[in-house]
Amino acid sequence: MNIGILGSGNVGATLGERWAKLGHHVYFSSREPEKLKDVVARAGATAHAASVADAVRAAEVVVVSLPWSAVKGVLESLDLREKIVFDCTNPLLPDLSGVELGTTTSAGEKVAGWARGAKVVKIFNTTGYNNMAHPDYRGTAASMFYCGDDAQAKETARRLAAELGFDPVDSGPLTHARFLEPMAVLWIWLAMKGGRGRDIAFRLLTR
């Protein structure tokens, strides 16, 4: 599968590197692609550096892992029609105490509005990038919650999350991003202010 990464920080780089090592063609993007040589080298032979527009053109799946403040401007400048878009963002307040969007909308819904014609799935936003690198906890897979309105896009999200070692959990329609985004605040609080460190993950248990 061809995967374009918008934002090559910790989340985007970790996801892209892992998928590239699994054999997917991953297009890391930047306004200055030459600055991506290190992440491309780490990811291996199926990784590429590209401009943002070229990464989107090449991709079947576009991963949005940009800072929240940059998302609107970038997405509105791109043609994302019929693309599957993974929204990994969280509309965090500057002090990480909460989210700036609440119970009546979400970052996921905003992304769907800005990425006109795209099939948006909210995913990879409820945990830290260290868990994206290593989701295994003593033989138990961390859960990865996702939501969206397009069945094909959700199945693609489920499969790509499972390939990384997560236990994917279908969490309903895209409006349920209103619940998944505050989960990120809880994870951040537990990891940082709660003193538990980053090696923690959510797991949905079944009996």
Per-10-residue mean pLDDT for the chain, 207 residues long? 95 98 96 91 96 96 96 97 97 87 92 97 98 98 98 98 98 98 96 96 96
Euclidean distance between CA atoms 145 and 12, whole angstroms? 17
> 2.60.40.10, 3.40.50.720, 3.40.50.300, 3.60.10.10: which CATH number matches 2-193?
3.40.50.720
Q: How far is CA 71 from CA 63, 74, 88, 134, 151, in A?
A: 12, 5, 11, 27, 24
What pLDDT score does 135 carry?
Answer: 98
The model's pTM is 0.95
What pLDDT score does 96 carry?
Answer: 87
What pLDDT score does 97 carry?
Answer: 83
Tokens of 102: 């609440």
104 exposed, middle or buried (CB, 10 Å; 0-12, 13-18, 19+)? exposed
Half-sphere exposure of 33 (CA within 13 A, CB side): 15
Per residue in 172-202, is it b (16+ CB within 10 Å) or e — as a string? eebebbbbbbbbbbebbeebeeeeeeeebbb
CB neighbour list of residue 131: distance below 8 Å, 6 or more residues apart = 142, 201
